[in-house]
Amino acid sequence: MRAPTLVDGRVPLIVDAVTGRIVSVLPPPDEHFLLYGGLSTGVGTSVLPLDRGNPGPLHIVRAVRRGRAVHLESLARDLGVGGPPLPGSAGDRAQRRAVEDAFARSVLAVLPVVDDERSEWSSILPARLRDATFVDLTPLAAADVFDIAGVVSHGADTLRGPLPDAVPYTVDPSLSTADPAATRGGAEGVVLAGVLVFTTARRPPDALRAVVPDARSFVVEQRVVIRPFPRGFAPRAFHPRSGTYGKRRLAPARITENRALSLLRPAFRTDRPIVFSVDPAIPEPFRSAVVDGGGWWGDAFEAAGLPGVYSVEVRRDEADPWETGVNPVWWVHRAQRGWSMGHAVSDPSTGEILRGSVRLGAQRIAQLRTLFEALVAPFGADDEAERLDEIGDALVARVRQLAAHEIGHALGFVHNYASTEHPSPSVMDYPHPVVSLDSLGRPSLRGAYRDGLGEWDRYLVAHNYGPAEAAAGLRDRTTLRFLTDADGHAPAAASPHAVPWTLPLGDDVGDVFAALERVLEVRTAALLRFGPAVAPPDADASEIENRFGLLHLLHRFEVARVARLLGGVDHAYALAAEVVDDPRLLPSPVPAGLQRRALRVLAPLVSTRVAAVHPSAGRLLASPSIRHVRGDAVPAAGGRLGPLADEEAHAQAAVSLVAAEVFEVARLNRLSTQRQADEDIPGIEEIAAALFAEADGIGAEALRRHLLHALGSGRLTLRARRSVLDALDRAHSDASPASLAVAAVSAGDQRPLARLGLPPVPAGAPL
């Protein structure tokens, strides 16, 4: 029988592998700790953010004894409760108590006080612990401290939205248990391991039924990290152009000083190595690509005067990726396409990054391979081997860039979607493959992705990790445009400079119009050569339609970029004092000439010349065979033609690419407002008329439905609403269901909108 073992450190542990108990010393109630962690095993679906390696939320906790039990309480950290006194604060106990008592606390776990086994431990306890009070941490290891039940019960992700058939799950305490063998301790804290079983009495959602053998219950393993607050890290104030996540630090005790809220830049400390540990499960050549791409940041650290601080290495098979101080890069398998993620856990009191982690989705390789094969059409070609090698090289290049991007997030950096206009694009942008045409007019992937960091990336490291005294000067001198998520992804985004997944601008592609023309040329070349060679010979015949869908909507992101010029606004991130000194930082509308050029370029894209399926391609769109379903790139039109391919749905999807951007409600409102100040700005009626003039009957109905949904949104300004009604009146057709519903929707009746849905457009991201 194995005796209990002591793991000494700042949080001492006694681990009893026989009884399964994990015991620690009860700290004083005024001592606060950081608690974080996540999943060591995943659920396996992209619909729920519960991957292997998925991080949970961070808590500030304290242990409060109440009789024979200890409540592990989570404090309201977002409201400034908990943690060490802020620098420059007197740390007045009365003020601290007033803040703590002002906001409710949560109980993460109820832990029993332990003293019956003290005699068994006496031989392993150091003298300083022999009179201590001990508490059983076993219930904490098996508690749902990261609200996995809530994620499953109401889960959603950025790709598919909320689960339509979600049901409540709860953790089963009779089946869940701690795992002492996987529990770790050390100088910086402890890592508790637990096995959690979740159950439901209801019919499980389809997303779980697809990946769990019996989805009435599922098992995940978690790690819970508890560590004291680190000391000795000098926080850096956030600036809107820092390029980092602004971490809120609230200090209610300072409210009378007008210093209650501050924002911090998250960063690792640089007095010790920053090492990212790559999952050995990643197959070659992609494992080496991850090491190479992640290693690009080392050049920037060296240029910032920090040589040797940063490195990337392959993790040993036996190493524990959850040990404190390890920054893992996980290889994640899911049942569907999904996103890769980079994440940083930071001390809320200083911004110090305590742990970086990355999850690289294995499905990204298959997803990109499908697109590349559709473009290059290698199968059965005389040079098939060369074309397949070209695809392989492009995939490796993309993984290098992906690794650099996600590790960048783990270093504290946010997206910069404006970098396509920089001299060299940032790895913190979302890249579209640069596809060219070879001497025979065939799409080529040579040079699809560039290697190395961009100028913005080197600025990020110098500004956020280099000497603090030089940071402000670096920021003030940079002329590189910076716009991040709210100005990139949001449907209402106004800036034409921040559209993800678009081509870099430069000598070969001079502006956004040339970029759209370039992609349309590649699209045309690929569709002219479209045939069975786009899919492996042993694939189901219906896979040909899936690959057609990818090519048919290849121009989607460049359409979004050109459409951003309509009602577009140029703006920058700045402080109030900077706006006073430099009015150029204030928002300004895109000039009328550019907006009119955008309209001239976009309108033909809804015509049958672009949107319709060419007969030569249409005859190849086969029905799925038994045990096969249509791919993600095929519009989900509800099986209107039974098993047959729905060419009309493909055409409507191509029209919707344009209509969804042009007739977005916020854009229509901006157009209306801008036209009040400048009559040269194209009006809503003029824009709608230009699109209707190009569209055939099928396309025109798609346009009407988009305008109808804008009308029914309830978010149009009065002036924009009148313009939309006028546009619908001019485009009226007695044969159009959308036209016949205008009066009802205008009167506030939402029922026609449910019946007349928007044409489905398959998801295009991530690439």
Percent of the chain with pLDDT over 90: 78
Token duo for residue 114: 């332990």
**What gap in Å lies between CA 238 and CA 170, rounded to an integer?**
39
Q: Band the pLDDT of 164: cuts 50, 70, 90.
A: confident
Q: What domains appear along the chain, each with residue ranges and CATH number?
A: 5-229 (no CATH), 274-482 (3.40.390), 544-767 (no CATH)
89 or 306: which carries more pLDDT confidence? 306
Residues recorded for the chain: 767
pLDDT in tens, 311-350: 999 999 889 999 888 999 999 999 988 899 999 999 999 9
Identity of the residue numbered 198: F
Model pLDDT, residue 102: 87
725 or 134: which carries more pLDDT confidence? 725
| R_g of the chain computed on alpha carbons | 29
Report yes or no: 80 and 372 within 8 Å, Cβ to Cβ: no
Three-class DSSP labels, 101-163: HHCCCEEEEEEEEECCCHHHHCCCCCHHHCCCCEEECHHHHCCCCCCHHHHHHHCEECCCEEC
Model pLDDT, residue 259: 62
Mean of pLDDT values over 658-678:
98
Mean pLDDT of the chain: 93
Model pLDDT, residue 578: 87
Q: Which strand (E) or helix (H) includes residue 474?
A: helix 471-477
The contacts found for 543-546 with CB under 8 angstroms, 24 or more apart, are 543/631, 544/620, 544/621, 544/622, 545/620, 545/621, 545/622, 545/630, 545/631, 545/634, 545/645, 546/370, 546/630, 546/631, 546/632, 546/633, 546/634
Q: How many Å is the maximal CA-CA distance in the chain?
A: 91
Of the candidates 181, 150, 153, the residue with the CA atom closest to the CA atom of residue 40: 181
**What gap in Å lies between CA 390 and CA 57, rounded to an integer?**
42
Q: With 70 as the cut, is the pLDDT of residue 116 above it? A: no
Q: Band the pLDDT of 161: cuts 50, 70, 90.
A: low
Q: What's the Cα-to-Cα distance from 753 to each of 639, 698, 737, rounded to whole Å?
A: 20, 18, 11
Q: Band the pLDDT of 131: cuts 50, 70, 90.
A: confident
- Cα 104–chain centre separation: 31
Average the pLDDT over each of 115-124, 298-307, 647-656, 680-689 and give the range with the smallest value: 115-124
Q: With 60 as the cut, is the pLDDT of residue 1 above it? A: no
Q: Which strand (E) or helix (H) includes residue 3?
A: none
Model pLDDT, residue 119: 61
pLDDT in tens, 599-627: 999 999 999 999 999 999 999 999 999 99
Q: With 80 as the cut, is the pLDDT of residue 3 above it? A: no
Report yes or no: 206 and 165 within 8 Å, Cβ to Cβ: yes
Q: With 80 as the cut, is the pLDDT of residue 144 above it? A: yes
Q: Which strand (E) or helix (H) includes residue 640?
A: none
Model pLDDT, residue 303: 96
Model pLDDT, residue 91: 55
CB atoms within 10 A of CB 421: 16
Token duo for residue 357: 């982690």
**What gap in Å lies between CA 29 and CA 62, rounded to an integer?**
6
Q: With 70 as the cut, is the pLDDT of residue 89 above it? A: no
Q: What's the Cα-to-Cα distance from 728 to each of 331, 422, 499, 666, 731, rounded to whole Å?
A: 50, 41, 29, 18, 5
Average the pLDDT over each of 209-223, 358-372, 473-487 and give the range with the smallest value: 473-487
Q: What's the Cα-to-Cα distance from 330 to each of 54, 514, 620, rounded to whole Å?
A: 9, 38, 40
Q: Band the pLDDT of 581: cuts 50, 70, 90.
A: confident
694 or 4: which carries more pLDDT confidence? 694
Model pLDDT, residue 664: 98
Of the candidates 338, 282, 330, the residue with the CA atom closest to the CA atom of residue 157: 338
| DSSP category for residue 394 | H
CB atoms within 10 A of CB 257: 8
Mean of pLDDT values over 61-74:
95
**What gap in Å lies between CA 321 and CA 315, rounded to an integer?**
8
The string of DSSP letters for 155-222 reads -EETTTEE-TT----EE-TTT-EE-GGG-EE-SS-EEEEEEEEEE-SSPPPHHHHTTSTTTTEEEEEE
pLDDT in tens, 45-61: 988 999 999 999 999 99
Q: With 60 as the cut, is the pLDDT of residue 197 above it? A: yes
How many helical (H) and strand (E) elements, i.e. helices and strands, does the chain have? 25, 26
Model pLDDT, residue 185: 85
Q: Band the pLDDT of 594: cuts 50, 70, 90.
A: very high
Average the pLDDT over each of 32-41, 108-117, 284-293 and give the range with the smallest value: 108-117
Mean of pLDDT values over 741-764:
95
Model pLDDT, residue 322: 93
Q: What's the Cα-to-Cα distance from 170 to each of 153, 213, 526, 651, rounded to whole Å?
A: 9, 18, 50, 45
The neighbouring-strand residues paired with 197 are: 219
Q: With 70 as the cut, is the pLDDT of residue 258 above it? A: no
Dihedral sign (CA 668, 674, 675, 676): positive
The neighbouring-strand residues paired with 589 are: 569
Average the pLDDT over each of 26-35, 140-149, 397-406, 441-450 and give the range with the smallest value: 26-35
Q: What's the Cα-to-Cα distance from 121 to each of 3, 43, 325, 368, rounded to whole Å?
A: 9, 38, 29, 57
Model pLDDT, residue 156: 57
Q: Strand 247-250 and strand 274-278: pairing?
A: unpaired
Q: How far apart are the first and last CA of the chain?
A: 54
| DSSP category for residue 520 | H
Model pLDDT, residue 545: 97
The neighbouring-strand residues paired with 314 are: 278
645 or 16: which carries more pLDDT confidence? 645
751 or 29: which carries more pLDDT confidence? 751
pLDDT in tens, 735-747: 999 999 999 999 9
Give, in degrees to the nearest 5, the angle at Cα 731 between 727 and 732.
Answer: 115
Q: With 50 as the cut, is the pLDDT of residue 489 above it? A: yes
pLDDT in tens, 379-393: 999 999 999 999 999
